[in-house]
């Protein structure tokens, strides 16, 4: 058994393993210092259907406790995704977006190619995500509908400010 002195926070080691990919005028990076938290918060809180009203503090904490990927045109952030994982068995793809003015350039496909091929994200028993409108994108990367949805449950917080349609039967 390892002594407590040899254990280091999971993120500190990963912070030293930064990666950047370049394609045309765009890049994707795992460097947290490049993330524009204000832009991410604004998009998630005001533009997304899944995180309406999410506070900046919660966005910041969610980034700190996951493996984030930023998409950039030059130094301007234009997209984002984060992976919630134990780096051993499970990964959840969350908060994926590309700003509207940068869509139609294959950036979300490129982002998913990088995420699903990333060496730190291999060998998991299961990857999951939730989407209302991008099933076709994720199917290209091996995602399928839940194999046994009757085995899955969620515990919603009744105090959370979800978008009005979140609990409607026709939304995911």
pTM: 0.84
Total count of residues recorded for the chain: 172
59 DSSP 8-state letter: H
Q: Tell me the pLDDT of the chain (172 aa) as tens digits.
A: 444 444 434 545 545 467 999 999 999 999 999 999 999 999 999 999 999 999 999 999 999 999 999 999 999 999 999 999 999 999 999 999 999 999 999 999 999 999 999 999 999 999 999 999 999 999 999 999 999 999 999 888 887 665 455 555 444 4
CATH code, residues 4-151: 3.40.630.30
Helix (H, G, I), strand (E, B) or coil at 23: strand
Domain boundaries, the chain: 4-151
Q: Do 27 and 21 form a contact (C-beta atoms < 8 A)?
A: yes
| Distance, CA of 107 to CA of 149 (rounded, Å) | 30
C-alpha dist (Å) from residue 172 to 53, 61, 79, 131, 166: 18, 24, 22, 6, 7
45 DSSP 8-state letter: I
């Amino acid at each position: 058994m390892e002594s407590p002195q040899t254990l280091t926070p999971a993120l500190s080691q990963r912070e030293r393993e930064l990666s950047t990919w370049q394609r045309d005028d765009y890049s994707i990076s795992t460097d947290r210092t490049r993330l524009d938290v204000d832009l991410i918060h604004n998009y998630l809180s005001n533009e997304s259907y899944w995180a309406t009203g999410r506070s900046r503090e919660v966005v910041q904490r969610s980034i700190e406790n996951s493996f984030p990927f930023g998409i950039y045109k030059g130094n301007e952030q234009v997209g984002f995704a984060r992976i919630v994982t134990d780096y051993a068995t499970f990964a959840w793809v969350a908060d994926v977006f590309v700003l509207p003015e940068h869509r139609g350039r294959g950036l979300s496909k490129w982002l998913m190619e990088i995420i699903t091929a990333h060496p730190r994200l291999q060998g998991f028993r299961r990857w999951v995500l939730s989407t209302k409108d991008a099933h076709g994108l994720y199917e290209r990367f091996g995602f399928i509908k839940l194999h046994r949805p009757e085995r899955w449950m969620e515990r919603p917080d009744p105090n959370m400010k979800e978008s009005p349609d979140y609990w409607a039967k026709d939304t995911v």
